[in-house]
Amino acid sequence: MTSTPATAPSFNLATASKVYTNLSVDELIQLAVERGEGQLAANGAFSARTGKYTGRTPKDKFVVRDEHTANKIWWENNQAMDPETFEKLFAKAQAYAAGKELFVVDTFGGASKDHRVSARFIVEKAWHALFVKQLLVRPTAAELSDYEPQWTIVDMSMLLADPATDKTRTEAVIALNFTTHQVVIMGTQYAGEMKKTVFTILNYILPLRNILGMHCSANIGPQGDTALFFGLSGTGKTTLSADPSRHLIGDDEHGWNEEGVFNFEGGCYAKCIRLSKEGEPQIYNAIRRGAVLENVVLNADGTPDFNNDSLTENTRAAYPIEFIDGAVIPSIGGHPKNIMFLTADAFGVLPPISKLTRDQAMFHFLNGYTAKVAGTEAGVKEPQATFSTCFGAPFLPLPAKVYAEMLGEKMDRHNAAVWLINTGWTGGPYGVGNRMSLAHTRAIVEATLAGALDNVACETDPIFGLSIPVSCPGVPSEVLNPRKTWAKPAEYDAKAKELLAMFEANYNSLQAGRTVAGAEG
């Protein structure tokens, strides 16, 4: 990868009143507390609130369209911005930064030294600097001594865009310029925008090298077998990959090259609503000094109230991967033996486990299905199907077929088995049925990775055509076939056909080149 082109205007740090460069974790925590950006929780984690935006705002994300990108970008999935508008936004951020204290954090995106990108962050909040330091790959002292940024990511989170003059949709904007290797973020304090920006950059660069970017978690077993877990927010990627019996490679973003799988990040970003030490001990124990909590309400004694969703359901914890016991360092594994597509089906009709053929795998990968439930978003009164192509449409700059064809080719070449796992509802839709037991889901994953389902007898679902195992260690047989869990099978049939029609309509729209970036955390 080349460094930032000489023609691109650099961000002038000389106008700032003070610049803090690559501070330590303790120094950043101290400054964040002193500056009133949040408070320390009783467990030592730094707790911050993100204001109006408690999640990403994908509709405010733009990609610069110019002669270099016009014929490469998937424009049906990415909003275009002209170069002049980007330059004005960059200049606006530059003017705003004059006289302010700024923080510079030098990072890498990618655990593979051969395929990483160097990304310099310039931010106005100490806790944002702490976040990116913990979430991205941290350069060694030797690497920092001759560090040259290939990308500059400027996040002036308190600066509001003006739609009338800045040509933005709202006061928030995330603008990427793939030609000048620059990003401008303003108007949102949600830190996840920064890490997803690096993911988007890698999803543009790496496929040109025949390296697949994937929105998935990954772990490796005692026998060296790598497993991938694809899924949208809330489907269980982080939870299921943080397995004490296996070693974590990463919880959210990976590349698949000729050698195997490598993590894009140096940390984890766990959704922590209703987190408990009993249910998810590795994640719970990782939230300590050096971790960042977003929008988690603290009790009077400073302990996090992980059950409190008064600010948002999308409460988050960010921490370095080393905080997970047994994590793989460096975060690299071999070619995956098993690939799992996770979905939280709120309609309650998908089986808890099914083995996919290659064609079915492509169908479900392109659909990228999960479901929103009542209460998680304003206006959602009943389950709503959500489709996010390749389980991460907002982060795909290139056409979907680029990623899908690459996944199919790698699956074939390395003989990877693909499974669909429903972590959502059973016995009826949301409000009638029950959420899948986490213990049952863990047992299913354990059996799958152990090879216990490779040769088990299966029955074919007549509506979706899925192969459903008739038995699984640790799981009651009646749970495995969703139709048998409904009180009225005819109602199951009707709801299943309804969901299948949604699948087919979304898939057909993709084939016709029509799509919108699905919601994702």
Report the catalytic residues: 56, 196, 215, 233, 237-238, 252, 316
Question: 178 by DSSP, 3-state: which?
Answer: coil
Alpha-carbon span 191 to 128, nearest angstrom: 6
- State the CB neighbour count (10 A cutoff) for residue 175: 26
**8 Å CB contact between 8 and 181:** yes
Alpha-carbon span 44 to 292, nearest angstrom: 9
Helical H segments across 249-399, by residue range: 281-286, 358-367
User: E strands, 407-490, where?
Assistant: 417-422, 425-426, 434-435, 458-460, 467-469
| Cis peptide bond N-terminal to 330, omega within 30 | yes
Encode 381-407 in three state secondary structure.
Answer: CCCEEEECHHHCHHHCCCCHHHHHHHH
Question: 498 by DSSP, 3-state: which?
Answer: helix
Any residues with CB less than 8 A from the CB of 79 and at least 6 apart, and which? Answer: 59, 61, 62, 63
Which DSSP state fits 232?
-
Cα–Cα separations (whole angstroms), residue 40 to 216, 273, 319, 475: 30, 19, 15, 41
Closest CA to 230 of 321, 335, 339: 339
